[in-house]
Amino acid sequence: QIQGFFEKPVDHLFASTIFLPYLRSLNLPNLTIASPDMGGSKRAYAYSKALESDVVICYKQRAKANVISHMELIGDVTGKNVVLVDDMVDTAGTLTKAADLMIERGALSVRAICTHPILS
């Protein structure tokens, strides 16, 4: 939609052109792609399809901005090497809570990739 604000042609750039070859190079057995929130589920599914892996999604509820009151995992990560795929990471509260949840639920390892690391 942002393309409508420019007079010059604009192309949407996908980070997957960089991230997918990198993830393949890791040769992770039992790979599972995860979304740290419902909003990223479509992105996570696209990565899982390209990598022929499982996908899981975190469902979170916020008490207020930057405060997660509850997070639940949809899917199974037991014995899996998980890669969390996110777009914008500000405080990394959601990402770290999701990673902790994956480890609690039996993931062997958890990694994360993001396209816009604000990291405030």
Q: Which residues contact 84 (CB under 8 A, 6 or more apart)?
A: 34, 35, 36, 95, 98, 99, 102, 110, 111, 112, 113
* Beta-sheet pairing, 54-64 with 31-35: parallel
Question: Which of 42, 49, 60, 80 is flagged as catalytic?
Answer: 60
Identify any residues that bridge with 85 across adjacent strands, giving them in sequence order.
113
Note if 60 is an active site residue. yes
What amino acid positions are annotated as catalytic residues? 60
